[in-house]
Structure 1
């Protein structure tokens, strides 16, 4: 991807600025691919992320704080995301019996089935996104991104 061509400029861009613009453009491209893959399921990437976190709890409930901490995108309104997933029947919210102030959230069987289906589509999408890279290049890219 040529940054100058994408943003339609003929002026040279300083390397630091070009790097950051490049990262934003790549982020947008990845986000568009993931959004398109999840669209048939009427699922946002943030909702998908919540379901994956809850599945990772292996049957143990999570609270909103746990979900917030583990979310890839910290900008999300987790309560609203959970409400939408409850409406779809993919998660359950219950008041903790031992601490009435605590809300426990778990994934339902329906949510697990939907997540399994979406996983297959996401695996394919993720492979398509990185298909132009060798394993060594992906390791190098991760090394460089870790520096941020």
Structure 2
């Protein structure tokens, strides 16, 4: 999607940032992020590494498990989401205005079918 490319993000990286924002400044383990991902086939560790390089997330050590890595969103990451969210909402509104509820249901069913065949 062009919107994400303009901000040097992928859809999966955006998903990770939204998960991190949902933690409300509480750190989360990479394994917990992976469980919450929309795309279960994503390499979450690699996605987090890219967000770290971009300064959108930070690593912290996990006090309860020194082998685990906790991740937290940075102010820069929150600022970027604040820019993208209204643009994405505008795009979604345009899409929903051109697709009937029946068409949306058909698309959803087809996507579910594709996901099921991908997992087999």
1:103 aligns with 2:103: no
Larger gyration radius, structure 1 or structure 2: 1
Partner of 1:115: 81
Note the C-alpha offset of 1:126.
1.2
Pairwise mapping of residues 70-81 of structure 1 onto structure 2 (< 5 A)? Answer: 70-81=36-47
Q: Is the 8 A contact 2:27 2:60 kept in 1?
A: no
State TM-score, norm by structure 1: 0.67
Query: 2: distance between equivalents of 1:58 and 1:101?
Result: 23
Report the more deviating stretch, 44-53 or 58-67: 58-67
Instruction: Spell out, residue by residue over 1:30-63, the C-alpha distance to the aligned partner (whole angstroms, 9 max, x if none).
Output: xxxxx11211101000000000000001111111
Q: How many residues align?
A: 111
Q: Write out the 4+ residue segments of structure 1 that deviate beyond 6 Å after TM superposition.
A: none
* Corresponding position of 2:105: 141
Aligned partners of 1:97 and 1:49: how far apart in 2?
Answer: 25
TM-aligned CA deviation for residue 80 of structure 1: 0.7
* Residue 99 (structure 1) shift: 2.2
> Quick one: which of 21, 27, 33 aligns to 1:61?
27
Q: Which runs of 5+ in 2 are unaligned?
A: 114-120
1:37–1:125 contact (8 Å) kept in structure 2:
no
**CA distance in structure 1 between the aligned counterparts of 2:3 and 2:91, rounded to whole angstroms:** 7
CA RMSD of aligned residues (A): 2.3
After TM superposition, list the pairs within 5 Å mapping 1:8-87 onto structure 2: 35-87=1-53
